[in-house]
């Protein structure tokens, strides 16, 4: 995850507010509000690693979503073939990308 997302997550956790910051081309944080909560580089790096781990842990969800049939096709499958056939179709994708 990038620094700006980490800063925004830290600030939101602290007081529910939004940080007034951006990043430049070298990913340095530019504070527009004077960093009122004194967020450190270490906090930013820790939060970025945490956010990345959360994102990585949900890879199976993104893989499944990309492979599931469109909802219209799933409903058509249920209508024509019943719930058990639909479950069998969906199970193929769930088995291919198991939940960790």
pLDDT tens digits, residue range 67-88?
A: 999 999 999 999 999 999 999 9
Three-class DSSP category at 23: strand
Task: Identify the band that residue 14 occupies on the pLDDT scale cut at 50, 70 and 90.
Answer: confident
Instruction: Tell me: do 22 and 67 sit in the same domain.
Output: no
Instruction: Tell me: do 75 and 64 sit in the same domain.
Output: yes
* Domain extent for 14: 3-57
Instruction: Tell me: do 65 and 51 sit in the same domain.
Output: no
Count of structural domains, the chain? 2
Burial class (CB in 10 A: 0-12, 13-18, 19+), 7: buried
* Model pLDDT, residue 18: 62
pLDDT in tens, 30-75: 766 667 677 888 998 999 999 999 999 999 999 999 999 999 999 9
Tokens linked to 61: 């969800």
Over its C-alpha atoms, the chain yields an Rg (Å, rounded) of 21
CA-to-CA separations, 48 to 6, 9, 23, 52, 84, in angstroms, rounded: 5, 9, 14, 6, 42
């Amino acid at each position: 995850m990038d620094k700006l997302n980490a800063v925004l997550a830290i600030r939101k956790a602290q007081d529910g507010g939004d940080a007034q910051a951006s990043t430049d081309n070298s990913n340095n944080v530019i504070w527009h509000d004077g960093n009122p909560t004194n967020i450190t580089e270490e906090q930013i790096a820790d939060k970025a690693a945490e956010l990345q781990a959360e994102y990585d842990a949900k890879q199976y969800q993104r893989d499944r979503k990309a492979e599931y049939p469109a909802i219209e096709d799933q409903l058509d499958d249920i209508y024509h073939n019943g719930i058990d056939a639909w479950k069998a179709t969906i199970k193929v994708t769930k088995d291919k990308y198991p939940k960790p």
